[in-house]
Structures are given as C-alpha cells and as structure tokens.
Structure 1
C-alpha cells in the first residue's frame, strides 16, 4: 500500500476549536463512575422478512430499489456542492478537518442501544434504534444511519412569531387516512416538556458552524433553523437545540449524555417518515450522535445487523465503547477512509474483489476517492442493496452470472438486472439444479476480507421462485456503497480514535457481555445483577 493511500483521522486547529465550541456545555447531570466491565444492553427484534404474498414481495423489493435510488441521488447532490474538487492533497486535508475526534473520557466503559427493523413495506431494510431523549427521558425509535450527521426527532413545537415556526400540518396524511393513522402512533418530542432542552439561536457562533443552516440574520430571538434533504429522499425542516440522552448501565444506574445537537423537526416528507420518529446519526460530522457519544465511551462504536430471516426472538445491538464481541476468531481490521465527497460518510479502501477465488479485472482507481471524484466505497446502513459504479458492477455481475447462466433468466423485475427462475434456499449449494453460489470476497487495505453469506450475494425469493443478484449499478457515478444486505450477520466496529474499522462474522443473535477481566465473550442466562450481566430496559 502506497504511503498516503489511507487517510488517518486528524484534528486541525479549526476542528479543535469547533469541537470545543459544540461541546461547551458537555457536563453530565448525573455523572457516574463506569466500571471497567460496565455495559448497557437493550433487546432488539430482527429485521422483518419479505412478505409471503407474491405481489407484496414484488412491491417490497420495488420499494427497496426506490429507497436506494433516492438515497444515491441525494448523495450526488451533496457531491455537487464543490466538496469533491481540488487536488488529492487538498481534498485529503478537507476530509481530515471534517473528522471531529472527541477526547476520551472512559476507554473501558460501553453502552448499547436497541435496534429493530421497520415492518412497513414502504420502509424496507431500515434498522431502528430506541434512544431516550429529554428530561424526563422518553424513548424514540430512530433510523440507524452511518452516512448522516444530523440527528432529528419529529417534534411538536409551539409556534413563536419572530423566533421559529411550529408544526403546521399533519405528517404523511394520505387520501385514505392510513398514513395519518400511522403518524398518530409516533412518539412526538415536545421541547416545552423537557427541562433539559436548550434551543440554539441564530446569534450564537455555533449556529453559524452547523450544517444545513437556514438562518436569515444573526438575530438573538430567532431560533437556529435547518433544512435537510436526506439521502433516501426524505426531507426534514426544524430548529437546532441541545438535549440530553439517558442510558442505563449494567448495574441499573442511569447515565446522562448531555450537550447533544438535536434537530427538532416540524416538517417531514418522504416515503419513510411515518415508520419512525427520526434519524440517529452515526456519521462523521462534528454534531453526529456517534461522535458525541463516543466521547464518553472510547471513541468507538459497534453494531451487528441481523439477517431478515432471523427468528423474532433474536436480538442485536448498537454498542458504544470497547466491545469484546468484536475481537474473536476471524476478526478483520482495516483503516477507515473518510470520504472527501460525501462528508459525513466513511468506509474502507477496497483493493480488489474476488469471485470464486478469481480476482476481477476492475480499475483500482475507482476505489480511491482521493484520485477520482465519486470514487471510493462507504458503509451505509440506510442503503439496502450494495451499489457499484459501472466498471465494478459489470465485473461482479458477469462473474456471478457465469455460475448461474444455465438457469432461466427473468427480466421483468424492477431494480434487478440479473434474476433467475430458481427456488434458492440461501445456503449457496443446490445440487438439484447444479448450482453453487461462488464465494464473493471484498479485499481491503491491510488484507482484511469481507466474505458475505450466499444469501447476501444472491437474494432468495425476490418473488416466489425467483432469485436475483444482490447488486445494483449506480446510474450517475459513485461513491460505491456497501449496503446493509451485504453487511448482515457481521459485527462492525468503527474506531475513530485509532482510525480503524473491524469486523467479523457473527449471527448477531446473542448477548455479548464484557466481564471485569475484559475480552471474554459469553451468553447470559441467569439474570443476576453485576457488571457482566445484561440489564434489560423495556
């Protein structure tokens, strides 16, 4: 690997000052001492499987394609703001300066948040995390988003003339009223009922530094407002404030995460707004929830995405802090590359793709965002199907098709080019039809290798009796996207402190616990209260 091909995290003087300004009020209400083995767990339901009915399955995957396409279109718009221009060194410097790495307060503690998937067919492939915000602390179900830096919650905000706008319309109300009924089930955040909410004003310096800002003047009375169009086509408009999140550690005590930048959304639009209460940002921006939370928990977080075919009794976690479950047999490690075109995003440097052990002929420069505008690869938990630029897509799909081309082709499925009349069980071997799905390997800098299961390479039963290759071609350039279908049944750790990404195969359906000695992973079955036992919060 050539020197400088991986961009390590760094902090310029400007980034330090900005981070210090944003974290000025970062003082806990109820500070507690985190023991070396302390952790927090919430149980989570797995992703919803596609419907049984043939027409519903078809609509399910059409919705998946539409969601991914909208998301990519918005990424292209983000790149069009000039962030991808300049020399390799200047773009590398810009990305480094956008990486706000907080100071470590506790390198040994961790907490976890619950994740589940949205069940509505219009919101396929979305993982939801339950987080408690406000005082008193109330739970909200937020979309897990590794390529976003704005955390927002749908908000009931009283209109204040000259200060900010309030919610003026019902959200998602359709002609049949079904969407409105769904919207009424939301957990609305009400700033007036939270004693820890602090609105940010247009006159404050930190408002000017926040992205998506729509303030018209530096008024002391006017609230710092924002407008953001999400990568999946969803838009949100509201005001910025500071709020606290509440977490529970393994011995039952409560911990506060104050000073979080929160968007109080008074208008949401798009296909997904009725399925959740907002978005939890795990991106690389200075106001990202992940960056602030990692400040207290070792500058790292991890998550494990259950397969859509998992049982309803399975559980998975979003964990902040050192997670011993990450380190085990087969753990891979590679450097994090902070994307210079889509600022909140990050991913690995891909060095090659193999199918059946054969290295594919793909130009190396398309994997490097420092050399090619729209190059590189990002991790995106809000995109379902892995998306590749044309050069990589053609090579991957052609190689896989050579192993499946004797099966009858199906051409009428929207969003999928390579589909086959084949009842695929997902295990990769079907002797009756003379089919073995070849091993797909994504090689990364440092020798790390991602080798997804066959059902993440070929999607079974897109409609009954039809399987499709789990890749789509990016119509307007990169960056390439590793979607959550390919990421399933792996545990992923993002370690901003060391600029490392770690992952290993994991079914994601067990409680991974951190004992007082550290490093040991085992399942809990007894319910005793100690630093090594799961503490459930419903």
Structure 2
C-alpha cells in the first residue's frame, strides 16, 4: 500500500468494533423508500467567499486574507511529521482538563479570536448533522483530517456554562478593543438521538487523531482530542459517531451514518470565528471525505465559484458519480500524496509556462519525495504560494507584462501591485496590458490553465491590482482556492486519480429539490451576513 494512500477499507476495518456496537450506524444508508440505487450521488451546497465592495473594507479583507493564509501555512508545517505523529505529540504535550474526559461533568471554554476574518477567502459547505437534522456552515478543507462542530455540552443537571447564553464569539476591533461578534450555531449532542459518544476504553479511540486520553482512565471517560498547531489555532473536544442528512442526486433525502465527528467545546485562533466548524476532506483515517466517499464510488468532487460571484450563488460538493466532471477539456492526472504532511494531497507538477514560455524552475521544487518539495491543494488557503525558486520565476515572468505600470509598494501581503484597474478579462489596450496565459503542466500531460483573475487579484483596493502569489520560506508549494476557482475537481483516491476541467460552477444545482436549496439559502452569506455566523 502506498504511503499516505487514502483507502476507505482501512478506516472501516479500524472502526468495525465501534460500528458493531451501534445499530444505527451499522444500518445501510437509506432513502425515503428504504433503499438507494447504485450509482447515486449525494450533494452539499457550497457558498463562495464574500469580497466587500467598500474601499476600506476591501483593503481590510485582503489584509485579513493574507493573515489567514500565513497561519494556514504554519499549520501545514506543524503537520509535517510521520503518520500518527500528531497523535503522539498531543499525548505528550497537551493535557485536556479532566472535566472534558468525564461523562458526568463537562466544561465549556469561551471561544475567542484575535482578528475578525469572517468569510475571508473561505468556501462554506452546508451540512445537516444529527437527529433531528440541523444545518451547519463548515469550512471546506482539503488539508485537514478532523471534522468538528462547535458544541454545547451539558452537565448532569443540564446546566450550561463557559459560553454565554447568547453564544457570541469575541473579536478584536481595529482599535484593539474586544467587540462582540457572530452568533455561532452550536451542535448539542444531548438533543440528537443518533449521537454516540466514543469512550477512551474503546480500542477504536486509538485510531483517532489528536487523542488525549490518559493512560489511566475510567470506563466513562470520553475519547477527547486537542488539535493545536503553530498558527495558534486550537480546538478541544470529544469524539462521537453521528449521522448526516444528505440530498441524493434524484432529489430524495437520506441518512448517512457512521461519521466521526468532533464535538468542539473550545476553539481559538484566527481561523475559527467565521463559521460553525470544519468539514475535512483531507487524507486522514477519520476524514469526512474518507467515510462519505467510501459509500459512493470512492470519489468526491466540487466546483469553486469565483469570489466575485453573486452573493446568492452556490455550487455543490458531491460524493459519488458527477456527470459534470466529464466534458470538453477534462484533464486527468495522478494524485500526489505528501510523505511528510500526510493529511494533504496534491498533484505532480512538471513545469509552469507563462505566455507559452516555460519557466526555468529546478525540478526538485516539485519533487514530493523531498521533505519540502511537491505541491498540495488546500481549499482553506486563498493565495497560491511557491518556494523562492518558483515564486521568483513566476513573478518575474508576469511582471514583464505589467512592469510598465506604476508600482504600489505599501500593500500588505502582496509584493507585486500596480496602479491599474483590472478590466475583467485581463486585456486593456489603453494601458498596453494583456495578462498572459498561465499554465501549470502536470504529470501525464494534463494542464491547469488559470484565468486572468486567478493570476492577478483585481481591486485589492480601488485602482490597484496585485499578482496573486505569495512567497514561502520552505515547501511544500500550496495551490490555493484562487487558482482553483472556476474549475470542477474530482478526486478518486481508490485509484489515485484526479480529474478537473474549466467550469463556471453555476449549473450544478439539483433540480426540483427545494429542501437542499433551503438549507443553503438559510445560511448563505449576504450583504450583511458577517454578523450571522
């Protein structure tokens, strides 16, 4: 078996004992008529990031976007360890308060954030968890293996404490003064009849990441986790098994059982106050993507709308066959599994061309067998980031097309900015500007052709456009969602194959399914949605 290869059968074997204890989880997935046809798919609405219109808010948006990407990068570096290293580190360096591991008594710690970055560069997925099913907005994350939702646990007498009844998070305003922020939608396990807590005494707890069970524990102790990474982002909680209510391709609703869910009672850091949690699609044993796709042809796909899409626009995350993947221009390449960041995956780059001219980039930059080489795809990162050898070549090539424009040097997070109003398609004869083609050449002959707005970020502030790339001190290189937007992507980990093609992502809605549409519309970011989450 290849290192890092995502094989759903491994997960199912590891959790067999746990599933055998739960009739609800053991049951086959069923639709309204008691069965699901072969070849079915399930769908979850995905909403794009919101870019504000006002000049100052737009400037702050991109400043926060850069901060968020930097912390994501540090998080990936923190995961640069052999498989299961994160679990060992959690046990050695983190100690969850005893109250979290005792069934009869639970504590809730306040959620705080150092910066309000609501919806900055994040794609949100609407998923219904629990019985009865309730919708939650979770960040689409291909470089994470822990799916978690902000939780409210209760003590024996039902008393809640730690989080206020209003369930408000805290952020720091521009003047440094803490301000009240969004209301989070909490998952309440006590109100879900399908929730099954995992105990430290169950052997299945040992296959879960970031676990913090002590060597000596009571039979009642919950299987707890503590995910802490270099960027300061922390989530602490307990593991359980849960169901999700999903929309099938024929419009019916069904239950998806056997999902590993983190019930998070404490979150902190710059990336946790704009949503209800994280939906993991990474290469991990308990990733939501692993479990869900194992029931649907071992594949999932998504299409990332442009950040400039209408506020009401949405696309879909699909598990199972998706006809939209196959069409004119569909590219096929192998999935690359990073040996050092096991939760991440990507593709093998053979070169980059700008304006049809190959760039002089050392091949070792793309070698995923080297500790700091290779490329990972990260939907949680916005701006694509390269190590110096690649970044310098890319920016020099693009600057040769834009260097005659007045440079702007005081734009935080961006090195190459120009006093120029982006015209949409990248062609502006009046200023002698044509954004060149940008091709990422992949193993097997596939080519990722980026649009102009994925290479140059328009209107970082009024009249200023910037190259959409960032320099990394060390690898792996990161392909962010700006470069991935307006493409449909499919990942079939059982065969190690990736497919993608250009697509506006506006025609993937389920027809005649008002239930799914309502899930998304109830939580879709709107002009004033920054205070809704």
- TM-score scaled to structure 2, two decimals? 0.83
**Secondary structure in 2 matching 1:52:** coil
2:157 paired with 1:156? no
Q: Give the corresponding residue for 1:389.
A: 387
What do residues 345-395 of structure 1 show as CA deviations (whole Å, max 9, x unaligned)?
10001111111111111111121221x112111110000000111111111
Are 2:44 and 2:318, in contact at CA under 8 Å, matched by a contact in 1? no
Counterpart of 1:54 in structure 2 is 55
Structure 2 CA distance for aligned equivalents of residues 487 and 507 of structure 1: 12
Q: For the residues of structure 1 that align with 2:285 and 2:161, how far apart are their CA atoms?
A: 27
* Structure 2: 5+ residue stretches without partners: 86-115, 520-533
The size of the alignment, in residue pairs, is: 476
SS of structure 2 residue aligned to 1:392: helix
Q: Distance in 1 between matches of 2:448 and 2:334?
A: 14
Report how far residue 500 of structure 1 moved: 0.5
- What is the root-mean-square deviation in Å for CA atoms of aligned residues? 3.0
Aligned counterpart, 2:414: 416
Rate the CA distance shift 1:375–1:216 in 2: closer, same or farther, 3 A: same
Q: Which residue of 1 aligns with 2:332?
A: 333
Residue 179 of structure 1 deviates from its aligned partner by 7.8
Tell me, in whole angstroms, the C-alpha distance in 2 between the residues paired with 1:482 and 1:14: 28
Aligned equivalent of 1:494, options 457, 474, 491: 491
- Is 1:69 paired with 2:70? yes
> What is residue 113 of structure 2 aligned with on the other side?
none
Distance 1:400 1:413 in 2: 18
Question: Which stretch has the larger CA shift, 446-455 or 267-276?
Answer: 267-276
Would the aligned equivalents of 2:47 and 2:124 in 1 still touch at CA under 8 Å?
no
Displacement of 1:173 in angstroms is: 2.6
| Secondary structure of the structure 2 residue equivalent to 1:271 | coil
Contact kept? 1:226, 1:240, Cα under 8 Å: yes
Question: Can you give the 5+ residue segments of structure 1 that lack an aligned partner in the other structure?
Answer: 86-119, 514-523
CA separation in 1, counterparts of 2:432 and 2:256? 55
The separation in 2 between residues aligned to 1:217 and 1:156, in whole angstroms, is: 27
Deviates more, 1:17-26 or 1:291-300: 17-26
Counterpart Cα distance in 2 of 1:141 and 1:419: 34
Following superposition of structure 1 onto structure 2, how do residues 152-301 of structure 1 map, counting pairs within 5 Å? 152-159=148-155, 168-170=162-164, 172-174=169-171, 181-183=180-182, 185-219=183-217, 220-229=219-228, 233-301=232-300
Listed one character per residue, the Cα deviations across residues 217-269 of structure 1 (whole Å, up to 9, x for unaligned) are 35212111101136864321001111111113245543211111110000011
Match in the other structure for 1:461: 459
CA distance in 2, matches of 1:247, 1:13: 22
Indicate how the Cα distance of structure 1 residues 446 and 257 shifts in structure 2: closer, same or farther if over 3 A, else same. same
- C-alpha distance in 2, partners of 1:534/1:13? 32
Deviation at 1:441?
0.4
Aligned to 1:380: 378
Does structure 2 conserve the Cα–Cα contact (< 8 Å) formed by 1:159 and 1:166? Answer: yes
Selected match of 1:126 from 122, 127, 133: 122
2:419 and 2:261 map into 1 onto residues whose CA distance is 48
User: Match for residue 110 of structure 1?
Assistant: none
Could you say if the C-alpha distance between residues 344 and 166 of structure 1 is closer, same or farther in structure 2, counting changes exceeding 3 Å? farther
Q: 2:16 and 2:151 mapped to 1: Cα distance?
A: 27
Of 259-268 and 211-220, deviating more is 211-220
